[in-house]
């Protein structure tokens, strides 16, 4: 069973996955998210607009400044810059217009803030974040709370759940009934990542997305993306962030994924 392999093996899995599903650049992937076909010029114009919106995200700039003693000096350059996966995540939410978003792992609340900012710009949608910080974690050690960077004005679209994912995620998904955008950024072990993807997938509707950060900890995302139906698309940014877009049903179950778990 592929698991915690070296970088060369993981790169090989990524290459095989992209050959199967078709690697797409940012604009190509974003164009597949629109409910009706758009011209390349329109998609590029929207892409430019969304990157500008990120640069104008004053709420997050303010909280980063407030907690600067806990943040890396180049943090703002990362979250607001154009050379990371951040603009792609933000633009995806803006175009997809999800109603229900689930995030596993929250930590500083960087990703939660970006998602919430996009939802606020969309004037629709709600984010559910599930996270449980362990004793000795740097956030708890510094008497901070998960999501401490989330701007106050965006919290009306946010539900934070302080609970263990193993027990909370299945019940949350069952309660919600569907998830338009699912984002993994918690335990990056192979078994846990695969469990999250498999647990969330039955709740992803047509047009829904499974996204994952930190792809290169192991081969879980690649195994998942290689064995789901051929009608899916995959993209990545910086070889560390991936998205899979559901194009059609029927819903895949554990039997379909076979021996990768």
What does 148-174 look like in DSSP terms, one character per residue? TTS-GGGGGGEEEEES-HHHHHHHHHH
Is-contact 149 64, C-beta < 8 A? yes
Query: Per-residue confidence at 118, pLDDT binned at 50, 70, 90?
Result: very high
What's the pLDDT score for residue 215?
78
Please give the average per-residue pLDDT across 239-261, as a whole number: 56
What's the pLDDT score for residue 246?
86
CB atoms within 10 A of CB 80: 19
| Predicted TM-score of the model (pTM) | 0.85
- Residue 95, CB-side half-sphere exposure with 13 Å CA sphere: 33
Residue 82 corresponds to which tokens in the numbers above? 């154009």
Average pLDDT, the chain: 82
Crossing angle, helix 165-176 and helix 190-200, to 10 degrees? Answer: 10
Checking if the pLDDT of 234 tops 70, the result is no
Residue 62 corresponds to which tokens in the numbers above? 């303010």
Residue 174 corresponds to which tokens in the numbers above? 């069952």
Rounded Cα–Cα distance for residues 138 and 111 (Å): 18
Residue of higher predicted confidence among 81 and 220: 220
Checking if the pLDDT of 70 tops 90, the result is no
Rounded Cα–Cα distance for residues 188 and 137 (Å): 16
Q: Exposed e or buried b for every residue in 228-239, given b needs 16+ CB within 10 A?
A: beeebbbbbbee
What's the pLDDT score for residue 257?
35
Is-contact 225 19, C-beta < 8 A? no
94-98, 131-135, 215-219 — which one is most confidently predicted on average?
A: 94-98
**CA of 114: how far to CAs of 117, 118, 228, in Å?**
5, 6, 28
Query: What dihedral do alpha carbons 35, 235, 117, 174 form, nearest 10°?
Result: 80
Taking only the tens place, the pLDDT of each residue in 159-210 is: 999 999 999 999 999 999 999 999 999 998 999 999 999 999 999 998 899 9
Residue 219 corresponds to which tokens in the numbers above? 């081969």
């Amino acid at each position: 069973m592929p698991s915690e392999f070296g970088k060369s093996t993981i790169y090989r899995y990524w290459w095989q996955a992209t050959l199967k599903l078709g690697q797409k650049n940012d604009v190509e992937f974003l164009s597949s998210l629109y409910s009706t076909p758009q011209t390349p010029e329109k998609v590029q114009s929207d892409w430019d607009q969304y990157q500008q919106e990120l640069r104008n995200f004053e709420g997050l700039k303010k909280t980063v400044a407030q907690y600067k003693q806990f943040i890396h000096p180049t943090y703002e350059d990362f979250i607001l810059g154009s050379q990371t996966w951040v603009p792609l995540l933000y633009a995806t939410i803006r175009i997809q217009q999800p109603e229900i978003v689930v995030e596993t792992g929250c930590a500083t609340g960087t990703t939660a803030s970006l998602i919430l900012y996009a939802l606020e710009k969309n004037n629709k949608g709600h984010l559910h974040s599930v996270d449980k910080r362990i004793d000795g974690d740097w956030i708890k050690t510094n008497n901070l709370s998960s999501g401490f960077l989330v701007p106050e004005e965006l919290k009306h679209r946010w539900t934070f759940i302080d609970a263990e994912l193993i027990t909370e995620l299945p019940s949350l998904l069952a309660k919600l009934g569907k998830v338009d955008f699912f984002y993994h950024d918690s335990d990056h072990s192979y078994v846990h990542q695969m469990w999250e993807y498999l647990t969330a997938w039955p709740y992803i509707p047509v047009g829904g997305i499974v996204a994952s950060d930190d792809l290169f900890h192991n081969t879980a995302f690649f195994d998942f993306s290689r064995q789901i139906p051929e009608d899916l698309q995959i993209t990545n940014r910086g070889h560390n962030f991936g998205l899979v877009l559901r194009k059609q049903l029927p819903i895949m179950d554990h039997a379909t994924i076979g021996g990768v778990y």
